[in-house]
Structure 1
Amino acid sequence: MPSFYERRILPRLLTCACTSSPIMKQRAKIVPLASGRVLELGIGMGLNLALYDADKVESVAGVDPAAELRALAQAAPRDPRLAVSVVEGTAEALPFPDASFDSIVCTFTLCSVQAPATALAEARRVLKPGGRFLFCEHGLAPDADVAKWQRRVEPIWKRLAGGCHLTRPVAGTIAASGFSIQNLETFYLPKTPKIAGWNEWGVAIA
Structure 2
Amino acid sequence: MTSFYERAILPRLLTCACGSPAIMRQRARLVPQAHGRVLELGVGGGLNLAFYDPSRVDYVTGIDPSPQLRNRASAAPRSPNLRVAIEAGEAEALPFADHSFDSVVCTFTLCSVRDPAAALAEARRVLAPGGDFYFCEHGLSPEPGVARWQTRLDPLWSRLAGGCHLNRPVADSITAAGFRLGSVEKAYLPKTPRFAGWNEWGAAQTKLSRAPNSG
Taking structure 1 as the reference length, what is the TM-score of the superposition? 0.99
- Which of the pair has more CA radius of gyration? 2
Q: Separation in 2 of the partners of 1:37 and 1:188?
A: 31
Aligned to 2:128: 128
Per the TM alignment, residue 7 of structure 1 is displaced from its structure 2 partner at its CA by 0.4
Aligned 1:96-107 pairs, distance under 5 A: 96-107=96-107
Aligned to 1:51: 51
Q: Separation in 2 of the partners of 1:167 and 1:113?
A: 13
Q: Give the letter aligned to residue 191 of structure 1.
A: K
Per the TM alignment, residue 16 of structure 1 is displaced from its structure 2 partner at its CA by 1.6
Per the TM alignment, residue 2 of structure 1 is displaced from its structure 2 partner at its CA by 1.2
Aligned to 1:112: 112
Aligned to 2:189: 189
1:74 is the counterpart of 2:78: no
Q: Give the letter aligned to residue 159 of structure 1.
A: R
Q: Is the 8 A contact 2:15 2:44 kept in 1?
A: no
State the secondary structure of the residue aligned to 2:141.
coil
What stretches of structure 1 of length at least 5 have no aligned partner? none
1:178 is the counterpart of 2:175: no
Q: Give the letter aligned to residue 28 of structure 1.
A: A
Q: CA RMSD in A?
A: 0.4
Runs of 4+ aligned residues of structure 1 deviating over 6 Å after TM superposition are none
Q: Separation in 2 of the partners of 1:11 and 1:66?
A: 9
1:41 is the counterpart of 2:41: yes
Per the TM alignment, residue 19 of structure 1 is displaced from its structure 2 partner at its CA by 0.6
Q: Separation in 1 of the partners of 2:125 and 2:114?
A: 18
**Residue deviations 1:12-54 (CA, integer Å, cap 9, x gap):** 1112211100000011111000000000000000000000001
Q: Percent identity?
A: 66
Aligned to 2:213: none
Q: Separation in 2 of the partners of 1:120 and 1:190?
A: 28
What stretches of structure 2 of length at least 5 have no aligned partner? 207-215
**Residue deviations 1:106-164 (CA, integer Å, cap 9, x gap):** 00000000000000000000000000000000000000110010001000000000000
Q: Separation in 1 of the partners of 2:149 and 2:114?
A: 22
Q: Separation in 1 of the partners of 2:11 and 2:103?
A: 27
State the secondary structure of the residue aligned to 1:62.
strand
Q: Separation in 1 of the partners of 2:6 and 2:133?
A: 29
Aligned to 1:164: 164
Q: Separation in 2 of the partners of 1:29 and 1:104?
A: 15
Q: Give the letter aligned to residue 109 of structure 1.
A: T
